[in-house]
């Protein structure tokens, strides 16, 4: 009888406990090495470093593409973006048509914010969108995907100024807290994407650093982004929400890089305005091969720092857990108690228990990538030739379009991809090539025309 009473009281306590809030900070082109806690010699990121001290720094996180739009598609849907023919960034309509892409993410697909919204969460998006494009005026707004409120750029309609993201996120957090409602907020910051919209006070911060102008601009924009993240963290402090809020910092892909000798000049973006151009893109990968737009680790292995006091270990570095962007939807839904539709089959898996420290032997489901490569394979400085990739347990196979050229890496023992071992493991190459071919056969040959702009007519 006593045991039954204890169980009953425990059940009531669990029912009354507040559901956790989720703040997902997604940077744009932020390289793995662009953090002071990752050893950057010049950049200082004290607020992101704070997340690392108070949470766990997961070193094996990968996004689902080397560029923006497909990477964000994976977060939103829990699916590999190739399932939607989203293999590159959304641009203006002729470019999308030429690359066999739709003009926006299908609004009828299962999305993370819509699932959390149905579970009783207040949902918001502030910052970059790029699941359509500002040059496609009839594309759906972020609100049509399950957000109660949003402010965005790289979308249809009015473009939110890039530096107002944290301000709006703070207001949303305060309103949700006052209403007693759990909240999910995307803070998808612009930095450090071009153009670099650097403010004078942040240039001043690095005036005596000894950096050249390009590096100074890059450090300044990262410092500004880190300050805005700090403002959001301070809001959670003031509202006493820290212990009940999962905060994640990550990036949509690796850092951009200019060609050697590119002069510093102003550039203009239709969504965000004027700023310094690609010459100031000085991000680093801390030894990982390749950069943005590559399926080598420099393009897809990005920072992933998670803080959830009492649930995720503090001050820990995890170099083992292989977590992917497609895992975020099932993971966040399990955290929030949101049910997945019976007809929905995610490509990702919930990583809730591993995030909390449960030992795992690795993921049972392989990860797949598809991008349109360019350049010649096999050259030491050629990073962008890869069209397909599969990661299965410790093995990573990269391939050109026809699988006529492949490279194989033991990504666990060789995370910097220094040694191609295909010659010594032909059986592994054969197995992964077969799995990759089977996955490719499941992909649609063309996008659904209902996701085409009227500008295609």
Task: Quote the CA–CA distance of 386 and 438 in Å, as a whole number.
Answer: 18
Instruction: Report whether pLDDT(13) > 80.
Output: no
86 contacts: CB under 8 Å, gap ≥ 6? 69, 70, 73, 101, 102, 105
Cα distances (Å, whole numbers) of residue 126 to 33, 39, 69, 195, 355 = 25, 29, 16, 19, 25
Cα–Cα distance, 269 to 262 (Å, whole number):
18
C-beta separation of 218 from 157 below 8 A: no
* Predicted confidence band of residue 361 (pLDDT cuts 50, 70, 90): low
> H-type helices in 337-425, by residue range?
352-355
DSSP-derived pairing of the beta strands 406-410 and 395-399: antiparallel
How many CA within 13 A on the CB side of residue 410?
8
Alpha-carbon gap, residue 156 to 138, rounded angstroms: 7
Cα–Cα dist 43/40, whole Å: 6
Phi, psi of 111 (to 5 degrees): -125, 150
Q: Residue 413 above 90 pLDDT?
A: yes
pLDDT > 90 in the chain, percent: 91
- At residue 362, the pLDDT reads 66
Q: How many residues comprise the chain?
A: 457
pLDDT score of 8: 36
Q: What backbone phi and psi angles, to 5 degrees, belong to 456? A: -80, -15
Residues facing residue 87 across a β-bridge? none
Query: What sign does the CA torsion over 34, 35, 37, 42 have?
Result: positive
Give the mean pLDDT of the chain. 94
Average of pLDDT values for 307-324?
96
């Amino acid at each position: 009888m006593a045991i039954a009473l204890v169980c009953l009281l425990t059940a009531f306590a669990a029912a009354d406990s507040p559901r956790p809030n989720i703040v997902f900070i997604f940077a744009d082109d932020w390289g793995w090495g662009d953090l002071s806690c990752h050893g950057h010699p010049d950049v200082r990121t004290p607020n992101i470093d704070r997340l690392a001290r108070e949470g766990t720094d997961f070193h094996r996180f990968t996004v689902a593409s080397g560029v923006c739009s497909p990477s964000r598609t994976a977060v939103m849907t829990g699916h590999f973006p190739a399932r939607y023919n989203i293999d590159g960034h959304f641009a203006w309509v002729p470019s999308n048509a030429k690359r066999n892409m739709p003009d926006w993410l299908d609004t009828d697909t299962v999305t993370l914010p819509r699932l959390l919204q149905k579970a009783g969460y207040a949902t918001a998006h502030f910052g970059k969108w790029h699941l359509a494009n500002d040059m496609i005026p009839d594309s759906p707004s972020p609100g049509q995907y399950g957000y109660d409120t949003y402010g965005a750029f790289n979308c249809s309609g009015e473009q939110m100024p890039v530096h107002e993201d944290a301000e709006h996120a703070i207001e949303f957090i305060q309103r949700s807290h006052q209403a007693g409602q759990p909240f999910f907020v995307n803070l998808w910051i612009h930095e450090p994407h071009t153009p670099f919209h650097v403010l004078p006070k942040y240039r001043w911060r690095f005036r005596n650093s000894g950096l050249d102008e390009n590096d100074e601009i890059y450090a300044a924009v990262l410092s500004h982004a880190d300050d805005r993240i700090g403002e959001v963290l301070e809001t959670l402090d003031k509202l006493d929400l820290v212990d009940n809020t999962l905060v994640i910092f990550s990036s949509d892909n690796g850092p951009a890089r200019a060609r050697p000798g590119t002069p510093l000049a102003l550039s203009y973006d239709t969504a965000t305005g004027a700023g310094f151009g690609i010459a100031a893109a000085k991000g680093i990968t801390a030894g990982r091969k390749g950069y943005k737009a590559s399926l080598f680790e420099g393009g897809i292995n990005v920072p992933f720092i998670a803080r959830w006091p009492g649930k995720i270990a503090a001050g820990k570095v995890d170099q083992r857990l292989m977590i992917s962007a497609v895992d975020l939807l099932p993971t966040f839904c399990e955290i929030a108690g949101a049910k997945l539709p019976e007809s929905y089959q995610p490509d990702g898996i919930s990583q809730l228990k591993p995030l909390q420290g449960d030992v795992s032997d690795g993921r049972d489901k392989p990860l797949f990538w598809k991008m349109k490569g360019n350049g010649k394979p096999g050259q030491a400085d050629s990073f962008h030739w890869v069209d397909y990739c599969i990661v299965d347990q410790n093995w990573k196979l990269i391939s050109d379009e026809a699988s006529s050229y492949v490279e194989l890496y033991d990504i666990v023992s060789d995370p910097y991809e220094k040694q191609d071992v295909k010659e010594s493991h032909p059986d592994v190459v054969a197995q992964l090539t077969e799995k990759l071919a089977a996955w490719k056969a499941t992909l649609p040959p063309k996008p659904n025309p209902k996701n085409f702009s009227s500008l295609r007519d």
